[in-house]
Amino acid sequence: MPASKIRTGLVLALVIGSTLVVAACSGKARPRLAYEERPVEALYNTGYQRLDSRRWADAIDYFQEVERQHPYSEWSRRAILMQIYAYYQNSNYTEAQAAADRFIQLFPGNSGAAYAYYMKALCNFERITDVGRDQGYAQGALDGLREVTRRFPGTSYATDARVKIDMVNDQLAGKEMAIGRYYQRAHQPLAALNRYKAVIDNEAYQRTSHTPEALYRLVEVNLELGLKEEATRNGAVLGYNYPGSPWYSQAYRLLSDEGAQPDTAAPTGQRESWLRRIIPG
């Protein structure tokens, strides 16, 4: 089981609290439960046992039955949270998000709402693909994770969300770099320039692993456009912030071949404004 899903289970345990599990039901669980009125504790605890056995689909059936037969009970509230978790573990991310939305609509002020918001974002996070594909899920995850940190700043959900926000920003910055390289290979330097500058100008992207390469690519593109002074300035910013980076070594050689050498002394003037954005303070 992926580590993220294990952590999600531990967090869910904190949300649900201690649960008394009654004696296990005998026999095999039915794929779909026919309606039969039964004690809510029996339904819920059977679902919990199926969950504990990682029989996600069976667990969902029982928790749905709790919600259907006892819609206004405390058990129903807990059953929706359990459905979110079971759907997520079964990789049914769309269904998990729908259950999370239902919980938020029914119990917006409940402490479990933090978990529901977090899981909505996490379901998008789990579906992020490589940078060569559409990044809709990445953007959805970023929006959702930011909402978690805004709504529930002092929770463990917000702490984990901030870590994942950095990961998503690295993904989105990587997408900009991939597009920029494509344009550069296609001999469209202006289009490439805009993509690389997007990585440098976006404060969230400046702290990602792509910043040194973005600065180097700006050196390349500006030299191709005949803008030697701008290329030298980019090289200076690269050297000042990442002096040991292989990207700076390449930029230095490239500029030296053009008769220019980046000044990596204490930044002044326009270069200083770039550095302040890259390294706050």
Inter-residue contact 238 to 216 (CB < 8 Å): yes
Q: Residues of the chain whose pLDDT is less than 50?
A: 6, 10, 13-14, 17-31, 266-281
* Cα–Cα distance for residue pair 90/129, rounded to 1 Å: 18
Query: What's the token pair of residue 216?
Result: 């180097």
Instruction: Specify the DSSP class assigned to residue 29.
Output: P
One-letter amino acid of 63: F
Predicted confidence (pLDDT) per residue in 9-37, tens digit: 545 544 554 344 433 333 444 445 555 56
pLDDT computed for residue 17 by the predictor = 46
pLDDT at 248: 93
Contacts of 271-277 spanning 24+ positions with Cβ under 8 A = 271/233, 271/236, 271/237, 271/240, 274/200, 274/237, 275/237, 275/240, 275/241, 277/200, 277/201, 277/203, 277/206
34 contact partners, CB below 8 Å, separation of at least 6: none
SS3 category, 240: helix
Supply angle C-alpha 273, 196, 209, rounded to 5: 85
Q: What is the pTM of this model?
A: 0.76
Q: Which domains does the chain have, with CATH numbers?
A: 1-103 (1.25.40.10)
SS3 of 137-199: the string is HHHHHHHHHHHHHHHCCCCHHHHHHHHHHHHHHHHHHHHHHHHHHHHHHCCCHHHHHHHHHHH
Confidence (pLDDT) at 265: 54
Question: 166-213 pLDDT, tens per residue?
Answer: 999 999 999 999 999 999 999 999 999 999 999 999 999 988 999 999
pLDDT of residue 38: 74
Question: What pLDDT does residue 71 have?
Answer: 86
